[in-house]
Amino acid sequence: MNARRIVLPLIVMTTAVAIWWFSPTVRDDVPVATWRLGGESDFRQPGNYERTPAGTALRLSFHAGAARHVYVLSRSDEDGTLLMFPSPDVKSDQHNPLPAGRSVLPGQRDGASLAWKTRPDIPGTTCYVVVAAAQPIAELEQLLPRLRRWTNSALTSGTMETTQPQDGEVLGKARTPWPSALLQRAAERAKLETLVNGPLHDDELLPQVWSSAFYLTEERSDQPKALEPGKPIPGVPIPITPVPAPGGGK
């Protein structure tokens, strides 16, 4: 086997990754976001429209060369729009604006890593959007108090759950579109994307605003298990086979 045919492609790939990662453009101007599914250390990066078990831990690794205001939200037809970050009900060490460098959201509480979860018993596909900006985005700042959001302060155990806003009419209800044109643009852009982890995209209308999104399908926890051959199906009557009369029915 020719060693060059193996080593040279690896060198080229490593160099390309290093150039992308340490590029001044990526570091100083365009934020980078990487989604993480699974444990704090044994995580994986999801692909677009990937299927994952309900209740899987979800985090976001965010990197920028300067302080950025970051907004993370999700939406599905069944669940509506949920505020993930910055949620006023999540007690965490991460707050806007995120400092330059790397941050992992939703952060930590008392030294323990927090995580959102893929929503159990929510059929269909959920879209997750991350938006970053040099300054607070008025369109989103006005919207956030009216959205359902994640919390870890509702239960004494500190479990991450979802809750309703305290005041005002709830926006982003189930079976309604994104309650923000900015979020809608990010979601539409991601529908045909393959690579959903990496540098964010420039928003089409707002300067110094970047966004990206990806789609995830949660596997329902109540999926029926495969039945063994010969076993009756629950809820389905067992057909009765007629017994022929003695003498052939004559």
- Is 121 contained in some domain? yes
User: Whole-prediction pTM value?
Assistant: 0.78
Closest CA to 65 of 116, 103, 8, 119: 103
Instruction: Give the pLDDT band of residue 228 (cuts 50, 70, 90).
Output: very low
CB 134 within 8 A of CB 71: no
More confident residue, 90 or 227: 90
- Which DSSP state fits 138? H
16 in a structural domain: no
Segment 173-187 mean pLDDT: 97
* Statement: residue 225 has pLDDT above 80: no
Residue-wise pLDDT tens digits, 14-39: 444 444 444 444 446 899 999 999 99
Domain around 105: 31-222
Which strand (E) or helix (H) includes residue 183? helix 181-190
Instruction: Answer whether residue 196 shows pLDDT above 80.
Output: yes
More confident residue, 4 or 136: 136
pLDDT grade for 125, boundaries at 50, 70 and 90: very high
In a domain, residue 176? The reply is yes
4 belongs to a structural domain: no
Which is more confidently placed, 57 or 237? 57
Work out how many domains the chain is built from and give that number.
1
Is there a domain that residue 193 lies in? Answer: yes
Of 213 and 224, the structure prediction assigns the larger pLDDT to 213
Please indicate, yes or no, if residue 45 is contained in any of the structural domains. Answer: yes
> Average of pLDDT values for 228-250?
51
